[in-house]
Structure 1
Amino acid sequence: MDGPSAPGGRAAARRARERRGRGEAPPADGEPLTGAGAPGETAAPGGRAAARRAAASGRGRRKRTEASPVSAMDGHLPDGEASGGRATARRRRTSVPAAGREGVGGPQPAGAWRSDDEGGHLSGGRGGGYPPAGADVGPYPAGQDPAPAGRAAARRARAAAAGGAEGDRVAARRRRGERPDALRRLVPQALVVAFLAGGTSAFIAGDKTVQLSVDGRPRTLHTFAGDVAELLDDEGMAVGEHDIVAPGPHHDLAAGDQVIVRYGRPVALTLDGERRQVWTTARTVDGALRQLGVRAEGAYLSASRSAPIGRQGLDLDVRTERTVTFMADGRERTIRTNAATVREALAQAGIGLNGQDTTSVDPESFPREGQTISIMRISADTETREEPIDFPTERRQDPTLYKGTEVVVQRGEKGVQRVTYALRTVNGVQQKPKKVSTQVVKQPRAEIIKVGTKARPTTVQGADHLNWGALAQCEAGGRPDAVDPSGTYGGLYQFDVRTWQSLGGSGRPQDASSDEQTFRAKKLYVSRGASPWPVCGRKLHG
C-alpha cells in the first residue's frame, strides 16, 4: 500500500504482533513506523491504540482460537478489532472497497468480502479466507469516494478506535493496580491449601492399623503410636514384671502388626504337699498346669481344669499320681495313687490296720514317689513277776573298837516287789519287755555295821625286836597286795582269811594297810610263834 495505514488497520496490528514477538514495546502515537510497513509511514493514533490493545488482549485470547471460529482471525485482524467482537469486524469489512482486493487465495472480485451474520464467521466470496495482511481498510485517498455505508462504517471505526485506546489505558491501569491485590489474596490461600495437603498426607502416613490381643481377646485399633510401649500407654494399659508383652515394649510398630498382652496371675500352689507361690499368664487351671510343667494325668486337683483364673489369682492343691510299694504280711504290693496320706494309700491298696498295727513311717505323712512302706503287725500282752528288793547298809561309828575293826550288828534282809511288764510282738518277733507297773510286797531290812574309831597300838610286847621286813620279803616279795596262785593266802605275811579275821582283821588281808598287816602278824607270833611261817620264819632272827 502507498498511503498511510488506516487507524486500527490490519497492517498496524500485524506490525504490533511482530514487535511483541521480538520483545519490543509498541510505538507511541505519532512515532514513525518501522518494520514491515512502508518507509516513512507513521502510526496513526487509532492504529497505535489498536496495536496496544492487540498486544494486551492477544495473550488472553489465545486459548479461544480452538473454542470459537472467530479466534482464528486473531492472526489477521488487529487485537482491538478482535476484542471488539464480530460486529466491528463486519463494519470494517463493509467499508472496504471491493475493487483491487486480494484474499488469502488470490485476487478477489469486488464485493467478495462479507460477513456471515448468522454463523458469526467471516468469509470472502466463494474462496473464503480473510483480507490480505496489507489490505487498506481505513479512509481512502482524496478523490476516492467510498460508498455511503462504507464512510459511516469508517467513521464509527475511527470513533471506536479513539475510544478504545482510552479504555485500554484505563484497563491497563486497573490491571496494574489489581494484580498485586489478587496475588496477595492468592498466596495465603495457596499456603493454606499446601498446609492442608501436607497435613492430610502426614495424617494418613502416621495412622496405622494394628491388632491388640489382651488375654486372648483381639481387637483392631487405629493408632499413631511409634512403638509397643506408646500403644499400651495410649490404651491405658500398665504391665508388670510377671506380664508378657510380645513383641517387646520397644518394638517399632508398623501397619498390620499384632501385639499380644498376657497378664500374670498369682497362684498359691500346693504340689504334692509342698506349698509355693507361682505366677502364670494362663487363664484356666489346665493352661496353668501346662505352663508350670505339672503332670496332671491321674492327679487330684482342688479345682476343675476348666476353672478360670482371674487377675486376683487362685489357691490350687495338686497331688500327682505316684508309685508306692507296701510290704505287708510277707507280700509286696505296688500301687499308683494320688492319696494325701499313707493311711489313705493303704486303704486304696486294700490293706487294713488292726489294733496296734502301724507302718514304718507316720501313717499321716505324705507318700512320696517310689517310697516303700512296711506294715507292722503288732500283738501285745502283759506279764507280772516278783522280784527282790536289795536291803540298805547302815554304818555306825563305835569308839570302843579299834580303827579298821567293823562289827555287823544287824544282818540285812531283802524285800519283795511285784512288777508288771508289757510284752510286744512285731511281725512274730517278741520285743524287749517294757516295765509298766511295780508293787512292793515285802519291805527290805537294813544291815547295821559298827565301825571302830579307837587308835590301834603299833607295838606288841615280845615281838617288836624281830626282823618283820625280812619275813615280808620272803613271803610276798614285800608286796602288801600279793596273793598266792591258789587265792587262799594274801598280803605281806600270806594270811588266810579265817586267821586274819580271828586276829581282829576285817575283809581280806591283802586289802589292809602294811602297818595293820604287820600288827596282826606280831599278834600271831605272840600266840603261836614262828610256826605259821615254816619256811620263812627263820628270817625273823636273821
Structure 2
Amino acid sequence: MSPAGSINVWSIVFTSLRTRIAAGGVAVALAALGATAASLDKAVALSVEGQQSTTHVFGSTVADALAKEGITVTDRDLVVPALDQPISDGTEILVRFGRKLTVTVDGQTGEYWTTAGTVDEALSALGIRAHDNAALSVSRSAVLGREGLALSVTNPRGVTIAADGATRTESSTAATVGALLSALGVTVGPLDRVNPAPDTALTEGLAIAVARVEQRTWTETQPVAFATTRKDDATLTKGTTKVATAGVAGQQAVTYTETWVDGVLEGTAVTGTQVTKPAVDKVLLVGTKPAPVVTGASGSAPSAGNTSGAGLNLANAAMWDRIAQCESGGRWNINTGNGYYGGLQFNSATWLSVGGGDFAPRADLATREQQITVANRLYAQRGLQPWTCAWAA
C-alpha cells in the first residue's frame, strides 16, 4: 500500500489498462456479430412462372425463402428444390403452379392437374394418348395459363364406306358419319339412305353404307264406284224395288310412286288420288205397301197343259211381264239348259214346291198365265226375293 497522501501509480496504470481492454472487447464483439449476420443472409434466385427475381433470406429452407416472398404453394404445384431442402447463398428456386386440364379423348372426359407449360408437354406428362394425326381443339404448342384449359382430342378411326358400288377404307378424325362423308366429298341426296344415321359418332371399325334412292311416279285414270241409297216408297208393294236414279260411275286420277334403291325396285305405293268426275249415287225405291192377298184356286186341279182360265191368278201381271223381260227377254218358253226355265226363270224344285206341277212338269212347258199364277204363289210366301231382276218390278 502507498503511504498516506501518496499517489498509487500502478493503480492508475491498471485502471487505464482495464478500460482499454474493455473498450477493445466491445469492438471485437461487434465485429463478431457482424460476421455472424453476414453469414446468415443468403441471396436466393427465384423463378416463379418464368419470372426471375432475387431475394435475401435469413431462413434455412426453401419454404422459408418462399414464405419471405409471400408465395403459397400446394401439393399440386412444382417446387425445386423441395420445400424442406436447405438453402445457401446463390440457391436457385423454381416454382410452377398447377393448372387444371380438362381433356376429352374420343368422347371420354377426364380432369387432370399439371405444371406443364404447353398442351403438348401436358399430354406427354399425363400419358394421354394423342395420335400424331389426332385433331386437337387447340394447338399442341398452346401455353397453359394458371386459369387452366379445356381440351378435346379426337384420334383418327379406321372405317369402311360402301357407296355407289364401291367399298373403301378411310382413317378420319371426323366427329360423325355425316361429317366424314362431307369431308370425303360423298354427296348424300334428300332421298338417299345412310346407315348408320349421319349423326352417329364415328368409332373404330364402323361400317358405313350409302344407298342411292330414286322415285318414279305416274298417274292412271280409274273409275269411282257409285253408292246406292235406299228410300222407302209407300206406292210400291213390299218386297219390290224401283230405281229412281240410275247410278253413274265417276273417275279419279290415281298417282303411283315406285321406289328404286341402288337400281332395284323396292316397291310401289299410291301417293295421291284426285277425283276428276264425281260418281252419281243410285237411288233405289223400296216398297212398303202391303202385298195383295192371293186367292187360292178352287175345284179340282187342272191337268198338265191346261190352258183354260180355271185356277189362274193373273194379279200383278204387268209387274211379272217386266220381270220376265229382264230375266228371259220376255220369252216364256225359254229353256237354255242352265237349269232355269220359262219367262220367270223357275228352277224345277221351286216350280214344283209351289204347285207348278198343276200345270206342267217345268215352267217352260206352261203358258204365260200359268207361270204368272205360280209366281204369285211364290210371291205370297217370299216376296220378290227369289228373282234377280226384282228391281225391274
> Which of 353, 359, 366 in structure 1 is aligned with 2:194?
359
Per-residue deviation, 1:276: 8.6
- Per the alignment, residue 68 of structure 2 pairs with 234
CA displacement, residues 39-95 of structure 1 (integer Å, 9 cap, x when unaligned): xxxxxxxxxxxxx5xxxxxxxxxxxxxxxxxxxxxxxxxxxxxxxxxxxxxxxxxxx
| Mapped contact 2:221–2:251 kept (Cα < 8 A) | yes
Which has more radius of gyration?
A: 1
Given candidates 431, 446, 456, the residue that maps to 2:281 is: 446
Alignment equivalent of 1:289, drawn from 108, 118, 123: 123
Query: 2:36 matched to which residue of 1?
Result: 201
Matches within 5 A, 1:365-444: 366-392=201-227, 394=229, 410=245, 412-444=247-279
The count of corresponding residues between Structure 1 and Structure 2 is: 299
Q: d(CA) in 1 for partners of 2:234 and 2:111?
A: 85
The alpha-carbon deviation at position 287 of structure 1 amounts to 1.5
- Residue 297 of structure 1 deviates from its aligned partner by 0.9
Classify 1:259/1:172 alpha carbon distance in 2 versus 1 (closer, same or farther; 3 Å). closer
Q: Name the CA shift for 1:417/1:525 in 2 (closer, same or farther; >3 Å).
A: closer
Aligned-partner residue type, residue 210 of structure 2 = I
- Which residue type is aligned with residue 255 of structure 2? T
Call closer, same or farther: CA 1:170–1:209 in 2, change over 3 Å: closer
Q: Distance in 2 between the 1:211 and 1:264 partners? A: 21
The 3 A distance-change label for structure 1 pair 330 and 181 is same
How far 1:210 moved relative to its partner? 5.8
Shift of 1:394: 4.5
Tell me whether 1:321 sits opposite 2:153 in the alignment. Answer: no
Q: Aligned to 1:244, which of 59, 68, 77?
A: 77
> Residue 276 of structure 2: SS of its match in structure 1?
strand
Q: 2:48 aligns with which of 208, 211, 214?
A: 214
1:460-539 correspondence to structure 2 within 5 Å? none
User: Aligned-pair distance for 1:437?
Assistant: 3.4
Q: Within 2, Cα distance between the matches of 1:440 and 1:347?
A: 44
- Write 1 or 2 for the structure with the bigger share of strand: 2
The alignment partner of 2:84 has SS state of coil
Name the stretch that deviates more: 364-373 or 374-383.
364-373
1:410 to 1:268, Cα distance in 2 relative to 1, 3 A: farther
Contact 1:209-1:255 at 8 Å conserved across structures: no
Matches within 5 A, 1:20-39: none
Mark the runs of 5 or more structure 1 residues left unpaired by the alignment: 1-51, 53-163, 457-498, 500-522, 529-542
Q: Which amino acid aligns with 1:223?
A: V
The 3-state SS of whatever aligns with 2:267 is coil
Could you tell me how far apart the structure 2 residues matched to 1:285 and 1:216 are?
17
SS of corresponding position for 1:369: coil
Q: Is the 8 A contact 1:273 1:366 kept in 2?
A: no
Q: Distance in 1 between matches of 2:103 and 2:92?
A: 33
Task: For 1:413 and 1:266, locate their aligned partners in 2 and report how far apart those are by CA, in whole Å.
Answer: 84
CA distance in 2: counterparts of 1:258 and 1:356, whole angstroms? 70
Deviations along 1:191-236, one digit per CA (max 9) or x if unpaired, are: 786587468536635x456664434677775433466555434334
Matched-pair contact (CA < 8 Å) for 2:80–2:95: no
Gaps of 5+ in 2: 291-349, 351-376, 383-393
Alpha-carbon distance in structure 1 between the residues aligned to 2:73 and 2:87: 23
The reply to whether residue 263 of structure 1 matches residue 100 of structure 2 is no
Q: Which amino acid aligns with 1:371?
A: L
In structure 1, what is the Cα distance between the partners aligned to 2:39 and 2:64?
Answer: 19
Q: Deviations over 1:316-373 (max 9, x none)?
A: 5643221111123454321222345545644776756578545324446653322110
Question: Which SS does the other structure have where 1:368 is aligned?
Answer: coil
Cα 1:332–1:211, aligned 2, differ >3 Å: closer, same or farther? farther
* Preserved CA contact (<8 Å) 1:226 1:252: no
RMSD: 5.5
